[in-house]
Amino acid sequence: MLNTCYNALDRHVDNGRADQTALIYDSPVTETVESWTFQELRDRVAGFAGALAGQGVGKGDRVLIYMPMVPEAVIAMLACARLGAPHSVVFGGFAAKELATRIDDAQPKVIVSASCGIEVDRVVEYKPLLDRAIEMAGYEPDSTIILQRPQAEAPLIPGRDRDWREVAEAAEMVGCTSVAATDPLYILYTSGTTGHPKGVVRDNGGHAVALHWTMKNVYGVDPGEVYWAASDVGWIVGHSYIVYAPLIHGNTTVLYEGKPVGTPDPGAFWRVISQHKVGTLFTAPTAFRAIKRDDPNGEYMHPWDLSSLRSLFLAGERCDPDTLHWAEERLGVSVVDHWWQTETGWPIVSNQLGLEPMPVKPGSPTVPVPGWDIRVLDESGAEVPDRTVGSIVAKLPLPPGTLPSLWNNDEGYRQAYLETFPGFYLTSDAGYRDEDGYLWIMSRIDDIINVAGHRLSTGAIEEVVAAHPSVAECAVIGVADELKGQLPMGFVVLTAGVDRSHEVIASELVSSVRESIGPVAAFKTVHVVPRLPKTRSGKILRSTMRKIADDDPWTTPATIDDPEVLTEIGAALGK
Ligand code: COA
Ligand code: AMP
Instruction: Report DSSP letters for 330-357, one per residue.
Output: HH-SEEEE-B--TTTSS-SB---TTS-P
Please give the share of the chain, as a percent, with pLDDT higher than 70.
Answer: 99
Q: What type of residue sits at position 278?
A: V
Spatial CA neighbour of 407 closest among 190, 110, 567, 261: 190
Atom of ligand 2 nearest to the CA of 237: 4
State pLDDT tens for residues 516-552.
Answer: 999 999 999 999 999 999 999 999 999 999 999 999 9
pLDDT at 192: 75
Spatial CA neighbour of 277 closest among 247, 255, 300, 309: 309
List, in order, residues 6 or more apart from 264 with CB less than 8 Å away: 28
CA of 487 to the centre of ligand 2 (A): 15
Task: Report if residue 329 sits inside a domain.
Answer: no
- The whole-angstrom separation of Cα 2 and Cα 110 is 24
Task: Report if residue 161 sits inside a domain.
Answer: no
Mean pLDDT across the stretch 457-469?
95
CA of 372 to the centre of ligand 1 (A): 32
Strands 110-114 and 143-147: parallel
Nearest ligand (C-alpha, residue 487): 1
Task: Check whether 193 has a pLDDT greater than 70.
Answer: no
Mean pLDDT across the stretch 495-503?
95
Pocket test for ligand 1, best of 98, 119, 242, 289 (most atoms within 8 A of CB): 119
Reduced to 3 DSSP states, what percent helix, strand and coil does the chain have, rounded to the nearest 5? 30, 25, 45
pLDDT interval class at 156 (50, 70, 90): very high
Q: Quote the distance between the C-alpha of residue 34 and its chain's center.
A: 25
Atom of ligand 1 nearest to the CA of 91: 7
State pLDDT tens for residues 414-425.
Answer: 999 999 999 999
- The whole-angstrom separation of Cα 367 and Cα 23 is 32
Atom of ligand 1 nearest to the CA of 483: 34
Strand partners, 444: 429
Task: Report if residue 471 sits inside a domain.
Answer: yes
Atom of ligand 2 nearest to the CA of 314: 19
Task: Check whether 371 has a pLDDT greater than 70.
Answer: yes
pLDDT at 196: 79
- The whole-angstrom separation of Cα 228 and Cα 216 is 15
pLDDT interval class at 195 (50, 70, 90): low
Task: Report if residue 537 sits inside a domain.
Answer: yes
> Long-range pairs for 153-156 at CB < 8 Å and ≥24 separation?
153/115, 154/115, 154/116, 154/125, 154/126, 154/127, 154/128, 155/127
Pocket of ligand 2 contains residue 95 by CB under 6 Å: no
pLDDT at 194: 64
Task: Report if residue 508 sits inside a domain.
Answer: yes
How does DSSP classify residue 274?
Answer: H
pLDDT at 197: 85
CA of 338 to the centre of ligand 2 (A): 9
Task: Report if residue 65 sits inside a domain.
Answer: no
DSSP notation for 472-517: EEEEEEEEEETTTEEEEEEEEEEPTT--S-HHHHHHHHHHHHHHHT
How does DSSP classify residue 243?
Answer: I
The residue segments making up the domain with residue 505 are 452-572
pLDDT at 337: 97
Task: Report if residue 536 sits inside a domain.
Answer: yes
Q: For residues 153 and 165, is the Cβ–Cβ distance under 8 A?
A: no
Q: For residues 204 and 45, is the Cβ–Cβ distance under 8 A?
A: no
pTM of the full predicted structure? 0.96
**What Cα–Cα distance (Å) separates residue 347 from each residue in 165, 270, 344?**
37, 25, 7
CATH number at residue 549: 3.30.300.30
For 442, phi then psi, to 5°, come to -100, -50
Task: Check whether 479 has a pLDDT greater than 70.
Answer: yes
Name the domain count of the chain.
1
Task: Check whether 214 has a pLDDT greater than 80.
Answer: yes
Beta strands in 221-299 (DSSP E): 226-229, 252-256, 280-283
Rounded to the nearest 10 degrees, the angle between the axes of helix 458-466 and helix 502-516 is 120
CA of 497 to the centre of ligand 1 (A): 38
Task: Report if residue 491 sits inside a domain.
Answer: yes
Nearest CA, atom 32, ligand 1: 287
